[in-house]
Amino acid sequence: MSSEATAAGSARTVLTAADIDRALTRIAHEILEANKGSQDLVLLGIPRRGYPLAQRLAGKLAATDPSVTAHAIVGQLDVTMFRDDLARQPTRAPERTQLPVTGIDDKVVVLVDDVLYSGRTIRAALDALVDLGRPRAVRLAVLVDRGHRELPIRADHVGKNLPTSSFEKVRVRLSETDGADEVLIEAAQ
């Protein structure tokens, strides 16, 4: 658990680094099974933590299926300018959208994010995809689904369903962005 969470006593660890790794391994196998192989797969991570999760998933896909070149199927999809809550949220600098060289037209695009909550980020991602091309299918993989949807969106691949209060905060920490792998639930303050 992080030192700040321990000091406050208001957070509990719900997924450890090993739990996250197992969840990503399972999701990678589910993606291959649902797609009947790796043909035409593209993983698009949503910044900030969806992109490193997409990279990890691509590595796991490559380890399972030798025909997959991990770096060739991963991209990053920034949704900042497509959000419907820009006026209410603190200003965020847009990240760079990077598509795989093969693009997304007629591909099976798997959007990857850390936490699925209201569904608004995924709605923004779908809007962003329309500007970039026309995938054959779009699927969603998330590390944590915490419920409380405001839009009719559901994940196809979930690492952990985590029932939470809307007053609690789910915090995903990854070694690439935060120096450690864990998922915490923080109590309302």
Over residues 42-73, the pLDDT tens digits come to 999 999 999 999 999 999 999 999 999 999 99
Residue 159's closest CA among 177, 169, 178, 172? Answer: 172
Over residues 141-179, the pLDDT tens digits come to 999 999 999 999 999 999 999 999 999 999 999 999 999
For residue 83, is it within any domain?
yes
Cβ contact 187:10 at 8 Å: yes
Which pLDDT value is given to residue 4? 44
For residue 4, is it within any domain?
no
Average pLDDT, the chain: 92
For residues 133-141, give the mean pLDDT. 98
For residue 188, is it within any domain?
no
CATH of the domain at 163: 3.40.50.2020
Helix (H) or strand (E) holding 35, with range, is helix 17-35
For residue 183, is it within any domain?
no
For residue 10, is it within any domain?
no
For residue 172, is it within any domain?
no
Cβ contact 54:39 at 8 Å: no
For residue 2, is it within any domain?
no
Which structural domain range is residue 25 located in?
Answer: 16-167
Over residues 98-126, the pLDDT tens digits come to 999 999 999 999 999 999 999 999 999 99
Q: What residue type is assigned to position 150 of the chain? A: E
DSSP E strands in the chain: the ranges are: 11-15, 41-45, 74-76, 108-116, 137-145, 157-161, 169-173, 182-186
- C-alpha distances in Å from residue 115, one per residue of 107, 123, 130, 164: 24, 14, 22, 12
Cβ contact 103:77 at 8 Å: no
- The whole-angstrom separation of Cα 56 and Cα 75 is 12
For residue 176, is it within any domain?
no
In the chain, the number of structural domains is 1
- The whole-angstrom separation of Cα 40 and Cα 159 is 23
Which pLDDT value is given to residue 136? 98
- Pairing type for strands 11-15 and 41-45 reads unpaired
Strand partners, 115: 144
